[in-house]
C-alpha cells in the first residue's frame, strides 16, 4: 500500500488505519460520531493527500479541459474553481473532479479521485495528443482539508492573505505557516465550510504544516478526522462518492448532476447525453430516509409496496447529526418524487422509508 507523508502522524495519534484507494489511510481516531460532531460544530483536519492532481499548461490546456469535462471551464477566471466530471463516449461518468484556474487560458489544475488517477491520466492524454503540457504531480502534492464553521478563523493567523472572506470555490496562493506557494481553496467535502490546503512535499513541509496547524488549533478544539467521518459528513449533504453513487454505469443526468453538464459546448459524451435528456432518464439518484428502524447499506434493494425491486442503495448510514438512518440510491423515475414511500430490503424484511430532498434535514 502507498502512504501519505502524514502516516507517522496518524499512527502516533492512535488512528485506526485501513486501505483506501490503494493507500493506508486513517479511518478514525477517537470515533466516528465524535469526529463528525467536531467538524459540524467546530473544526477538524483531514489528510486527503491520496487525491490526484494534474497540471495542464499552455494555449491548448483550456480546449483540452473543455473537450474532456462536462462543465464549462471557459467561465473560470484566475482564482476560481469548478466542480465537473469526465464522461466517456456513452456519457457515463469516468470520474468527478475539481478544475482550478491558476492562470486564465494558460495554467489549470485538475483534482481527481485517488482510485482513478491512472485511468484519468490515460483518458486525458488520449485526447491531448501532446498538444497541452501536462504534469501528474499527485505523488509530490500534499492535501489537508481543514473543515468546519471555525476552520478558517482558527488557521487565519498562519497566512497573511485574508481567507475569512474567501468565497466558495475560490482560492488563493500565498505563504502558509512559513511555506511558500501554498494553494488555499474554499472547497471541501463536508458542507460545513473551511478550506483545502495544497502544497508540495519538500523540505519536511508536511510535518511543519501539520504541526503548526495543530499548535494553533488544538487549544481551540481542532481535531484530526478520519475517512469514516468524512463519509458520514458528505452523505448528510448528498455529495456523491465515486465508486458508490457515481461510476461508469451512471450518467450525470441520472446522478442529479445536470447542473455541471453544459450542452452549450462540445465535450466527449455530449451526443449520448443529449439523447438521454430528450428521451428522459429511466432512473434517478435520490435521498432516502428510513421510517422503520434499520440502517440501509450499499447495494441493499429498494422495493415498492409489493416487494418488486425498483432500485438499489448506493450509500447509507446512521446520520450522527440527524439521529436517523439515511441513504442515497437509484430508483426508477416513477418512484423518485419526494414524499413517496419505498421499502428497503434488510435481512429479508421490507422496512418502510421515504424519498426526501437532499441535503438531508
As a three-state string, the secondary structure of 252-296 is CCCCCCHHHCCCCCCCCCHHHHHHHHHHCCCEEEEEEEECCCCCC
pLDDT of residue 9: 98
pLDDT of residue 54: 98
- Average pLDDT of the residues in 163-167: 97
Question: What is the value of pTM for the model shown?
Answer: 0.97
pLDDT of residue 7: 97
CA distance 200 to 181: 8
Within 10 Å of residue 121's Cβ, how many Cβ atoms?
17
For every residue of 320-349, DSSP letters joined together read: TTTSSEEEEEEEEGGG-STT-EEEEEETTE
CA distance 337 to 143: 38
pLDDT of residue 59: 97
In Å, how far from its chain's centre is CA 149? 18
> Measured in Å, how far apart are the chain's first and last C-alpha atoms?
38
pLDDT tens for each residue of 87-144: 999 999 999 999 999 999 999 999 999 999 999 999 999 999 899 999 999 999 999 9
- Average pLDDT of the residues in 42-67: 98
- Average pLDDT of the residues in 40-61: 98
pLDDT over 90, % of the chain: 98
CA distance 100 to 340: 39
Which neighbouring-strand residues pair with 85?
96
- Sort strands 283-290 and 325-332 into parallel, antiparallel or unpaired: antiparallel
Q: Which residue has the cell 424484511?
A: 349
- Average pLDDT of the residues in 251-261: 98
CA distance 286 to 341: 12
> Comparing C-alpha atoms, which of 200, 287, 227 is closest to residue 208?
200
pLDDT of residue 34: 98
CA distance 270 to 258: 12
> Comparing C-alpha atoms, which of 197, 164, 204, 162 is closest to residue 181?
197
pLDDT tens for each residue of 4-14: 999 999 999 99
Residue 203: pLDDT over 90:
no
Amino acid at each position: 500500500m502507498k502512504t501519505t507523508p502524514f502516516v507517522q502522524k496518524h499512527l502516533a495519534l492512535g488512528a485506526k488505519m485501513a486501505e483506501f484507494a490503494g493507500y493506508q489511510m486513517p479511518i478514525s481516531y477517537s470515533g466516528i460520531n465524535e469526529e463528525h460532531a467536531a467538524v459540524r460544530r467546530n473544526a477538524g483536519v483531514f489528510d486527503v493527500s491520496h487525491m490526484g492532481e494534474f497540471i495542464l499548461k499552455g494555449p491548448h490546456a483550456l480546449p483540452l479541459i473543455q473537450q474532456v469535462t462536462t462543465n464549462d471551464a471557459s467561465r473560470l477566471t484566475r482564482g476560481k474553481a469548478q466542480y465537473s466530471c469526465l464522461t466517456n463516449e456513452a456519457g457515463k461518468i469516468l470520474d468527478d473532479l475539481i478544475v482550478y484556474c491558476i492562470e486564465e487560458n494558460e495554467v489549470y489544475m485538475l483534482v481527481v479521485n485517488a482510485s482513478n488517477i491512472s485511468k484519468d491520466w490515460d483518458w486525458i492524454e488520449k485526447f491531448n495528443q501532446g498538444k497541452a503540457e501536462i504534469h501528474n504531480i499527485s505523488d509530490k502534492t500534499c492535501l489537508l482539508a481543514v473543515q468546519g464553521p471555525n476552520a478558517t478563523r482558527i488557521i487565519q493567523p498562519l497566512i497573511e492573505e485574508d481567507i475569512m472572506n474567501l468565497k466558495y470555490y475560490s482560492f488563493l496562493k500565498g505563504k502558509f505557516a512559513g511555506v511558500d506557494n501554498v494553494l488555499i481553496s474554499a472547497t471541501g467535502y463536508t458542507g460545513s465550510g473551511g478550506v483545502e490546503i495544497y502544497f508540495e512535499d519538500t523540505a519536511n513541509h508536511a510535518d511543519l504544516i501539520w504541526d503548526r496547524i495543530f499548535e494553533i488549533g488544538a487549544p481551540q478544539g481542532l481535531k484530526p478526522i478520519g475517512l469514516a467521518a468524512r463519509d458520514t459528513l458528505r452523505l448528510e449533504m448528498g455529495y456523491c462518492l465515486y465508486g458508490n453513487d457515481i461510476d461508469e454505469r451512471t450518467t450525470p443526468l441520472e446522478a442529479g448532476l445536470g447542473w455541471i453538464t453544459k450542452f452549450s459546448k462540445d465535450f466527449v459524451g455530449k451526443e449520448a447525453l443529449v439523447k438521454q435528456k430528450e428521451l428522459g432518464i429511466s432512473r434517478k439518484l435520490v435521498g432516502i430516509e428510513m421510517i422503520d428502524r434499520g440502517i440501509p447499506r450499499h447495494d441493499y434493494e429498494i422495493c415498492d409496496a409489493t416487494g418488486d425491486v425498483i432500485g438499489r442503495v448506493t450509500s447509507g448510514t446512521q446520520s450522527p447529526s440527524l439521529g436517523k438512518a439515511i441513504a442515497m440510491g437509484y430508483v426508477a423515475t416513477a418512484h423518485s418524487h419526494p414524499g413517496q414511500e419505498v421499502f428497503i430490503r434488510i435481512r429479508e424484511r421490507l422496512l418502510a422509508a421515504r424519498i426526501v430532498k437532499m441535503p438531508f434535514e
